[in-house]
Amino acid sequence: MQSEKSKNAGNPSPTTPLVEFLETSYVECSEIILLEENMNFNERAASSANVKLGGGYLLVAIDIAARGVDLPDATHIYNFDLSKDAVNYLHLAGRTGRKPFSDSKCFVTSIITSEERFVLQRFENELTFHCKELLL
């Protein structure tokens, strides 16, 4: 999430470099859809409608912007920032594979630093699940 000070200084949204990278790296995707916290209801609704039309797409959303988005065909979620608590983590992870209780596997990948590992362990304990750890 971008601070007001950063916005007022004219700095780009932290999602901008990510979207630019995805546009050049995933040319097979027909569209990259962005949801940001400063979007009004109509802008968010239009972006969500584009997602539901189908086709290959990547949705980039910050935690706050992802709330209330229903994407039953989603198969992968990539968290670049952990949610503040286990309930919000579960809510975001629950965006995957719900068509209407899919048999296909769904994946949630959280990209974290070693300092954030304890937070994810707390979520694992509270929600009774286990993460597979891959070191990069």
Query: What are the tokens at 136?
Result: 């990069």
In order of start, what are the domains of the chain with their CATH numbers? 1-61 (no CATH), 70-136 (3.40.50.300)
CA distance 111 to 108: 10
**Is the model's pTM score more than 0.85?**
no
Reading the chain (136 residues) residue by residue, the pLDDT tens digits are: 444 555 667 766 666 777 777 778 766 666 777 776 677 767 767 766 666 555 566 767 666 556 666 666 677 777 777 888 888 888 777 665 555 555 666 777 888 888 889 999 999 999 988 888 887 6
Burial of 9 (0-12, 13-18, 19+ CB in 10 A): exposed
CA distance 79 to 92: 9
Read out DSSP for 36-93? -TT--HHHHHHHHHHHHT-SSEEEEE-HHHHTT---TT--EEEESS--SSHHHHHHHH
